[in-house]
Amino acid sequence: MAVGRKPRVESLDLSLLGVEVSEQTRGIKVNETMQTTNPNIYAIGDVTNIIQLAHVASHQGTVAAESIAGLDSKMHYDLVPSAIFTDPEVGHVGLTEKQAKDENKEVKISKFDFAANGKSIAMDETRGFVKIITDPEKNIILGATIVGTHGTDMIATLSNLINSETDLEEAVKVIYAHPTAAEALHEALLTGLDRGLHNA
C-alpha cells in the first residue's frame, strides 16, 4: 500500500545555501526555469514536489540545462501527460470532461471505441476508447483520454496536437498506417468533425 510521497529536504541545510522551501508545494522553491532562490542552484524532480513523475523530472532537467546554457527555456505543467499502466492502459492529457463541466466550458466530446479498430480486433484487445474534447468555436483539441492497448504511447500524438493548437481540419489530414491501433486517433478526430468512418 502506498499513501503518498514527500521530499526529504530537512537534512540538506538549504538555509545555508540560500535555497528556500515552497510553502505551497513543501518542496524546493523553483521558478519556471528551475532556478532556486539561490541563482546559482537549480533543482528538478521529486525534490521540487510539483508533479512527481519521471517524465516531468526529465523535462525539468532539460529546461534547467538549457537555462543554464543561456537558452530561453521555461517549464509548463498544463500539458503533462498521465500514464496509468493498468489493463487496459490509460493515457490522458489536458482538460477532462469533468473539468469542462465544472468550469462551464462549452466543449464537444468525440469518442471512438477500439472495438471498431482492425488491429485491436486482430489482437483481441477491443476494450477501451479514444475520447477527444474540443473547443467547438476554435476547432482545437483541449484534452484527450485513451483507454486501451498502447494508450500510454499514443497520448503523445494528441499532446502534440493540443500543444500546437492544430485545427481539427488540419489534424485529420495526417495519414495513419493500417492496420494500427493509432487509427483510432484518426477516427476520433474525424468524429469530432462529424465525419467518422467506422462505428463499433
Report residue 73 as a C-alpha cell: 527555456
- Backbone φ and ψ for 4, nearest 5 degrees, come out as 120, 170
Residue type, 194: D
Separation in Å, CA 173 to CA 145, 147, 190: 21, 24, 10
- Per annotation, catalytic residue among 59, 76, 92, 178: 178
Q: Is 178 one of the annotated active-site residues of the chain?
A: yes
Query: Cα separation of 129 and 177, whole Å?
Result: 18
Query: Cα separation of 24 and 56, whole Å?
Result: 18
Query: Cα separation of 8 and 103, whole Å?
Result: 36
Which residues are known catalytic residues? 178
